[in-house]
Amino acid sequence: MTKRLLLLFLLFSSSLFAQYDAARYPVIPRPYRLLPFSGDFHLNAQTVIVTDKKALRKETELFRQQVKALYGIELAYSAKGKDGNTIFISSDSSDIPPEGYQLFINRNEINLYGGNAGIFYGLQTLLQLIHEDVSKMYSSKGGPLPPVTTIPSCSIIDQPQFSWRGLHLDVSRHFFPKENVKEYLRWMALYKLNTFHWHLTDDQGWRIEIKKYPKLTATGGWRNRTLIGHYTETPERYDTIHYGGFYTQEEIREIVRYADSLHITVVPEIEMPGHALAMLAAYPELGCTEGPFKVAGTWGVFEDVLCPKPETFTFLDNVLTEVCALFPGKYVHIGGDECPKERWKNSAFCQSLMKEKKLKNEDELQSWFTEQIVNMLQKKGKQAIGWDEILEGGLAKGAAVMSWRGEEGGIAAAKAGHYVVMSPGAYCYFDHYQSASPGEPLAIGGFLPLEKVYSYHPVPASLSAEEKQFILGVQANLWTEYIGEWSKIQYMLFPRIAALSEAGWSQTEENDYSFFRKRLLTHFDLLDRMKINYAKSIFDVSGRIVPGDNGALNFALSTQDSSLTIKYAMGSDDDFQNVYQSPLMIRQSQAIYAAAFRDGKQVSRTARWDFSCNLATGKIITLRKAPSPSYNSGGAMKLVDGQSGTYPWKGSDWLGWSGDTLDATIDLGKDTVISSIRIRTLYDPSSWIWQPVSFEAWTSEDGIHFSPAAVSKTQPEKVSLKEMNLYLLRTKARYVRVVAQPLSEIPAGNPGAGNAAWMFVSEIEVR
Ligand code: TNX
């Protein structure tokens, strides 16, 4: 005990945040304090676990299974310690905050203190500290000996920053069976996440058995076709597979129990009043029109929503009664996002209800709807939580808000005294791309690299100290429109889940990405052992155009990790013969391939860039107006880098303007005969991106006096990737000026109607 006090004293007096050897202590999320020591504890078949209370043994179960599965070591319990080889676990948690633990490791023994959750988490830390050294095999006369498994000496005190460390899984768009969900929960436990948001219902499938309404799963659990490819592709393509599934109440109870054993609370989501097509397909009488309704086979937002009729509320009351009985946690998620109001506008019932309740518009009708549900849940002893839309038009007391369309909803909710979980799309949507590399599997869009997840801090600076208390924590969401296989779930989740865990558990003011990254590199060994298909995007070779006055396009390659060797090939990728040293000069249309190597082994995927050269490629370009800071990756050079933006788009491929013109001048270096100018633009109305409404060009010989060359006014064409051309009579010029005007107002009936449209341009080409 005195020894423990001494160690604690050392820990608290150690500098606030001292970095230790990341490879030796690759713990994620980063513990509150870790003090490294020399020497190792040897973990082997003789190691025993001693607990001061038998009941604590259940907290060690997962750890024992993991050690057995990953290192082949079976750890036995013992009533008393063995000299030099014992893990002592003590329920003495005085002065230890909830979920916290203290862990002391030396050559002879390990001591772990904490409450139940703390002990569980302390063992997950221990698991992450295990090293297996094959090179240290003892010399032997006979056959090979087992590798040496060690845990490095150190003292740790640890505790979480936030009480809601959440991860969501959408099982409606794609269904994943019970065993998958349990594995998902184990991954959460590994990263000390404690709240599982289970998105059980949506337009594309109802996944929870409700005894009173069997058609919810019998009809609502199945769809007859599913979209192939991206939902913005035209024409749409579908498979003809009868797809679906659901969890029986027995299975739900089993999962909830299992989650509880991992100290995870399950928050079920029952979506309403929008995203409810599966419910309507099963019980059309809940709609504002007669239907028939079909379980959706494609993605997006649908106009058919629940009608706020008395029989709808009776139905939902019965559904929620069964839901509440299945989930012991405090919160039930009631959705509330993306509810179109068309049906309510055209329904005589809704209009007269609005009059009766003195509701000014359909948004207020939705808050009235929400209020009924919030109260209904309160009567059942539960609190409602919903997507930030539920805040619009006033929110009933006691309901909590999950802020997904940025942080604004969360900020407004905290100011109004509602509890908040931060889950803003730009930092927490794991269905977005994590790499700009061309080899990424299809995703919904967006760009969320590991570093950006890591940078997230869930408490906005604009809140007062009192308001900050309302921020419960952070959550990442995994929507599965484009994720049908479990290996792809892994790919989208790992390693971003590791970055999320640090945002939720560790002291975010002390977060340091490069230190995280170093720990992650060793941590990958554990993921390899667990056979997880994690994304290796952080090894990706990236390429960028750098200025140079040699008349060529100078293309620099790099990796985040400077210890890796980059090799490249031109024309074909069969053979990486060239070691990259300095920027490559590109003088003609060609493909470049590159990959990162460690110890002669390829660790990254092969990256490929297709250069298509024209007179403007690599030339000096100036912009009169900078693109929006959100879409300015690569700067002006991006427009003459010889590469076209792709679709589905990634922010890094395109420059974007909103309410502002593209006004670029390119210096071709010398008088040149030109006959055409082209810009490459994007059309994606779901993201408010529209084609330019006009595109014009001027030319000049001196860079001062410009004469108009050609003008084109355009009508939007519903084509995702659009080239716009201007043809000139053969003109001699050294300077070309290009001006393109975005659409100033998105037409009615489209997402973002009334707002200025985005204009995305990837390339200006001169021929
Ligand atoms: C918006 S996030 C949705 C989901 C989609 C997701 C795709 C939210 C509350 N609604 O229905 O799956 O975008 O990223």
pLDDT tens per residue across span 411-459: 999 999 999 999 999 999 999 999 877 778 999 988 899 999 999 999 9
Average pLDDT value for residue range 170-182: 98
- How many angstroms separate the alpha carbon of residue 567 from the centre of ligand 1? 40
> What pLDDT sits at residue 429?
97
> What pLDDT sits at residue 18?
64
Ligand 1, atom nearest to 405 Cα:
2
Question: Does residue 758 come out as left (phi exceeding 0), alpha (psi in the -120 to 50 range) or beta?
Answer: beta
| Residue carrying structure tokens 């513990």 | 31
Mutate to test the pocket of ligand 1, among 302, 338, 481 (most ligand atoms within 8 A of CB): 338
Mutate to test the pocket of ligand 1, among 337, 392, 422, 431 (most ligand atoms within 8 A of CB): 337
Ligand 1, atom nearest to 432 Cα:
14
Closest protein CA for atom 8 of ligand 1: 337
In terms of C-beta density within 10 A (0-12 exposed, 13-18 middle, 19 or more buried), how is residue 3 classed?
A: exposed
Closest protein CA for atom 10 of ligand 1: 337
> What pLDDT sits at residue 106?
96
pLDDT tens per residue across span 123-158: 999 999 999 987 655 555 666 677 889 999 999 999
Closest protein CA for atom 6 of ligand 1: 479
Closest protein CA for atom 12 of ligand 1: 479
Structure token pair of residue 277: 């097509």
User: Hey, which residues are catalytic here?
Assistant: 202, 275, 338
Q: Which amino acid is at 429?
A: Y
> What pLDDT sits at residue 491?
98
Model confidence at 55, pLDDT cuts 50, 70, 90, reads: very high
Q: What is the DSSP letter of 30?
A: P
> What pLDDT sits at residue 2?
58
Element at 400 (helix H, strand E): strand 400-403
Residue 110 has pLDDT above 70, yes or no: yes
The strand pairing partners of 579, in sequence order, are: 567
Model confidence at 15, pLDDT cuts 50, 70, 90, reads: low
> Which percentage of the chain shows pLDDT scores above 70?
96
Model confidence at 235, pLDDT cuts 50, 70, 90, reads: confident
Instruction: Tally the residues of the chain.
Output: 767
Structure token pair of residue 520: 């992650």
pLDDT tens per residue across span 682-734: 998 888 999 999 999 999 999 999 999 888 877 767 778 888 889 988 889 99
Closest protein CA for atom 13 of ligand 1: 479
Ligand 1, atom nearest to 402 Cα:
9
Show contacts of 563-566: CB within 8 Å, 24+ apart: 563/598, 564/539, 564/596, 564/597, 564/598, 564/603, 564/604, 565/596, 565/597, 565/598, 566/541, 566/594, 566/595, 566/596, 566/597
The strand pairing partners of 607, in sequence order, are: 594
pTM: 0.86
Structure token pair of residue 274: 């929008």
Closest protein CA for atom 4 of ligand 1: 479
Cα atoms in the Cβ-side hemisphere of radius 13 Å centred on 387 = 22
- How many angstroms separate the alpha carbon of residue 584 from the centre of ligand 1? 42
Ligand 1, atom nearest to 404 Cα:
2
Closest protein CA for atom 9 of ligand 1: 337
Task: Map residue 131 onto helix, strand or coil.
Answer: strand
Mutate to test the pocket of ligand 1, among 168, 402, 479 (most ligand atoms within 8 A of CB): 479
Better-predicted residue by pLDDT, 580 or 135: 580
Closest protein CA for atom 2 of ligand 1: 404
- How many angstroms separate the alpha carbon of residue 383 from the centre of ligand 1? 22
Q: What is the CA radius of gyration of the chain?
A: 29
Cα atoms in the Cβ-side hemisphere of radius 13 Å centred on 376 = 23
Structure token pair of residue 399: 């309901």
- How many angstroms separate the alpha carbon of residue 730 from the centre of ligand 1? 50
Closest protein CA for atom 5 of ligand 1: 479
- How many angstroms separate the alpha carbon of residue 272 from the centre of ligand 1? 13
Cα–Cα distance measured from residue 310 to residue 593, given in angstroms and rounded to the nearest whole number: 63
Closest protein CA for atom 7 of ligand 1: 479
Better-predicted residue by pLDDT, 598 or 470: 470
pLDDT tens per residue across span 325-335: 999 999 999 99
Nearest 10 degrees: CA dihedral of 53, 54, 56, 62? Answer: 150
Q: What is the DSSP string of 594-618?
A: EEEEETTEE-SPPEEEEE---TTTT
- How many angstroms separate the alpha carbon of residue 28 from the centre of ligand 1? 28
Using alpha carbons, select from 111, 120, 86, 106 the residue that is nearest to residue 36.
Answer: 106
Least confident of 22-26, 309-313, 747-751: 747-751
Least confident of 220-224, 561-565, 701-705: 561-565
Residue 533 has pLDDT above 70, yes or no: yes
- How many angstroms separate the alpha carbon of residue 249 from the centre of ligand 1? 26
> Which percentage of the chain shows pLDDT scores above 90?
78
State the pairing for strand pair 48-51/86-90: parallel
Using alpha carbons, select from 413, 523, 434, 459 the residue that is nearest to residue 190.
Answer: 523
- How many angstroms separate the alpha carbon of residue 481 from the centre of ligand 1? 9
Show contacts of 414-418: CB within 8 Å, 24+ apart: 414/463, 414/467, 414/468, 414/470, 414/471, 415/463, 415/467, 416/391, 417/470, 418/391, 418/470
> What pLDDT sits at residue 143?
66
Average pLDDT value for residue range 359-382: 96
> What pLDDT sits at residue 508?
85
Cα–Cα distance measured from residue 582 to residue 414, given in angstroms and rounded to the nearest whole number: 51
Ligand 1, atom nearest to 479 Cα:
12
Q: Check if the beta carbon of residue 641 is closer than 8 Å to that of residue 617.
A: yes
Structure token pair of residue 647: 């679709």
Cα–Cα distance measured from residue 346 to residue 609, given in angstroms and rounded to the nearest whole number: 52
Ligand 1 pocket, Cβ-based, cut-off 6 angstroms? 337-338, 387, 404, 429, 431, 444, 479, 481
- How many angstroms separate the alpha carbon of residue 431 from the centre of ligand 1? 9
Ligand 1, atom nearest to 431 Cα:
14
Ligand 1, atom nearest to 202 Cα:
11
- How many angstroms separate the alpha carbon of residue 479 from the centre of ligand 1? 7
- How many angstroms separate the alpha carbon of residue 765 from the centre of ligand 1? 37
Ligand 1, atom nearest to 446 Cα:
14
Q: Check if the beta carbon of residue 690 is closer than 8 Å to that of residue 758.
A: yes
Q: What are phi and psi of 420, to 5 degrees?
A: -135, 140
